[in-house]
Structure 1
Amino acid sequence: MKQQAFLEKINPVKDKMYRLALRLLISKEAAEDATQEVIFKLWARKDKLKDYTNVEAFAMTTTKNYCLDELKAKKNNNLRIVHQNYENNSISLQRELEVKDEMLLINQIVDDLPEQQKIIFQLRDIEQLEFDEIIEITKMKSTAIRVALSRARKKIRESLTNKHNYGITKN
């Protein structure tokens, strides 16, 4: 496989790879390094990429495994949700602060989730991957993925509800 053909397969996926790496490794620099390392690994296996039916799923799986190996090596279990910067110039400063506080709260809640639920939540709700892609990446059964995702969403929902209810009764 030539460089141009390789880049045509990898370029559409590299942003997702970066976001997953950032989600798992926290640091932008570590995520950039991880993404670059995974791309190098994929380049080294470029001739075998044609054997994979879903190159994106293979790239995401490789990214996930690389990041988990890095976390094990560094004994770093801190994971954070990746969120898009909320850009809307017409909102008030107060609303902007409320959104920022809400995102920080969600980050804290997601940090408390078990690692498997964090990964599945990231892949499904942040990256919006299909279940068959998540199955391929995580090597888990469909029912296990759905249960983990349901539990993650329930924990997030309950924590937000409790926080907001506490804030109402407190005031």
Structure 2
Amino acid sequence: MTPEEFEHIARKLRPKLNSIGLDFFSDRDMADDVTQEVLMRLWIMRERIDIRLGVEALASRMAKNICVSEWRKRKTRISSDTSGPPVDGYQQPTAMEDSDNRRLLENAISRLTPTEARLYRMRHLSDMDLAEMETVTGIKSRSISAMLSTARRKLLEAIRQQGGL
């Protein structure tokens, strides 16, 4: 997709994406953020998108996923901001524990095959759904699911070997 084609498509998509964000959050600023995030992701993957397949469905799915992801982040922030005794003995990790956990995870991800690592990052760090991943990679969603399952098992085992669990 050329930059000119992308600009044309982006102009057509912007009202729809804004509407999705507004319906979800009832906040114009948040709706604008969702729209910008989707358009940025589409721009990054523009060369791999087949416009004949319809970009609108992909963009709508991306917007909904971003809305849900942001809602979860907000919910997590609100629940972690409340002070009080730990529930069921669970205590929030400290900054140092978070750093150690991130280091353990990155080390474990580095042990995956390049395809597994890429798919894992797309799914869990970029919050892409299987349809988006299929569009980007050209790999069928059933195969993606199987590879992600294998990657998660490998990650769990690698983290256990590092003494993380």
Query: When the two structures are superposed, what TM-score results if normalisation uses the length of structure 2?
Result: 0.50
Query: When the two structures are superposed, what TM-score results if normalisation uses the length of structure 1?
Result: 0.48
